[in-house]
Amino acid sequence: MAELSIVEAINDAFHVELARDPSVMVMGEDVGRAGGVFRATAGLRDKFGPDRCFDTPLAEAGILGGAVGLCMAGWRPVCEMQYDAFSYPCLDQLITHVGRYRWRTGGKMSFPLVIRMPYGGGVRAPELHDDSPETYYVHTPGVKVAIPSTPSDAKGLLSAAIRDPDPVVVLEPKLHYRTLRGDVPEGEHVVPLGKARLAREGDDVTLVAYGSMVPLCELAADALEGVSVEILDIRTLKPLDEDALLASAGKTGRVVIVQEAPRVCGFAAELAAILAEKAILDLRGPVLRVTGYDVPYPYWQIEDAYMPSVERVTAAVRKLLDF
């Protein structure tokens, strides 16, 4: 075990996976010479050469479209989108080709590519460096989506994504890139996609979250004196570990879902719908959501007011306990 930050764990995963499989390559804006604007790909160009850690032109659709062709030529490309909101041009390729190409060939060709990006706010950044775009990705058929919240999962889920035969999108909580440190297994470390993580066991209420909302839920749980709080870290949004969600809901009977993205049709709505369909008799109160608001992510002087907070989460839990 080594104690690493999330961004160091991602870098570690790259070093291990590029050494393990010579068909894995990294491409994106500033990933090579600079090692990525967050240094997630630092050292890869020196170690594996400029072709396997490739500085692309500034063209997000071109990066992902190029990756489709690279898959056809036998490569396993990992594409970095420099920021969440800069990934939107690549949605064209994602929706029209990445999620459909295997289906279009009757399952005869696979597209084992990865798209990864830092996501989320709270970092006092300019506009469009703060978005939580997971719903766009989850909603696209044919792609999987993972969002780690710990250094160990950041390495393990990225490694799983690189090895997965389907296209996988990995969103990384940039707020905690360097603020969170934790033990990370050395060498090969894979956390299977589709398995949630019970971050904390409890009996009275379940907080369901992923990514940067998990540490927030831990703070909220600490603040809820006298309440036994369970925290379920979803980790993989698609495929979803429905069993873990239903098991926790069945155990506590109370569920609050915490999501940084805007509310309407966010992933919290999907989780709430599943609970309504499959756990209604286990529930002792309504499924509540604490989310961002349905507004553009604000300028940073007022971003704290947008973000789910300990106060908003504890208030939702108290409301549910009083139901």
Partner 1 sequence: MAVLPAERDLRRVIGDADGAGDREVDGLGEQELLELYRSLVLLRTYDERSVVYHRQGRIGTYAIFWNHEAMQAGVVHALDDEDWIFPSYRESAIGLLRGMPPATVLSWWRGHPAGWWNPDDYGVASICVPIATHVPHAAGFAWGKKLKGERACAVAFFGDGATSEGSFHEGANFAAVTGAPLILLCNNNQWAISTPLEAQTRAETLADKAIGYGMPGVRVDGTDVLAVYEAAREAVARARAGEGPTFIEAFSYRTAPHATADDQRAYIDLDRVEEERKRECVGRFGGYLRRAGILHDDLAESIRTEAAEAMRAGIAAAEAEPPADVSLLFEHAYVDPPASFDSDLEELRRTLG
Chain residues binding partner 1 by CB under 8 A are 51, 56-57, 59, 61-62, 64-70, 72-75, 77, 89, 92-93, 96-97, 99, 101-110, 141-142, 144, 164-166, 194, 238-240, 242
Residue 161 near residue 79, CB atoms below 8 Å: no
Q: Kindly report the CA angle at 173 between 197 and 65, in degrees rounded to 5?
A: 105
Least distance (Å) between residue 24 CB and partner 1 = 13
Q: Which is nearer to partner 1, 39 or 278 (CB)?
A: 278
What is the amino acid identity at position 229? V
Residue 136 CB neighbours (<10 A)? 16
Cα–Cα dist 168/44, whole Å = 21
Nearer CB in complex with partner 1: 1/73: 73
Least distance (Å) between residue 135 CB and partner 1: 17
Instruction: Compute the least distance from the CB of residue 88 to partner 1, in Å.
Output: 12
Who contacts 255 (Cβ-Cβ below 8 Å, separation ≥6)?
Answer: 205, 206, 208, 248, 249, 272, 275, 283, 287, 288
Could you tell me if 89 and 57 are in contact, meaning their C-beta atoms sit under 8 angstroms apart? no
Q: How far apart, in whole angstroms, are the C-alpha atoms of residue 136 and residue 153?
A: 22
Measured from the CB of residue 277, what is the shortest distance to partner 1 in angstroms?
Answer: 11
| Closer residue to partner 1 (CB): 142 or 285 | 142
Q: Which two tokens stand for residue 35?
A: 């090692």
Nearer to partner 1 by C-beta: 104 or 284?
Answer: 104
Least distance CB 218 / partner 1 (angstroms): 28
Toward partner 1, which CB reaches closer, 96 or 179? 96
Segment (H or E) for 41: none
CB of 106 to partner 1, least distance (A): 3
Max Cα-Cα span within the chain: 60
At residue 83, the 3 state secondary structure works out as coil
Catalytically annotated residue among 15, 129, 139, 176: 129
Distance CA 95, CA 8 (A): 31
Please compute, for residue 35, the number of CA atoms within 13 A of its CA located in the half-sphere on the CB side: 15
Closer CB to partner 1, residue 104 or residue 124?
104
Active-site residue 97, yes or no? Answer: no
DSSP three-state, residue 27 = strand
Local structure of 47: helix, strand or coil: helix
The residue behind tokens 């690493």 is 4
Active site residues: 129
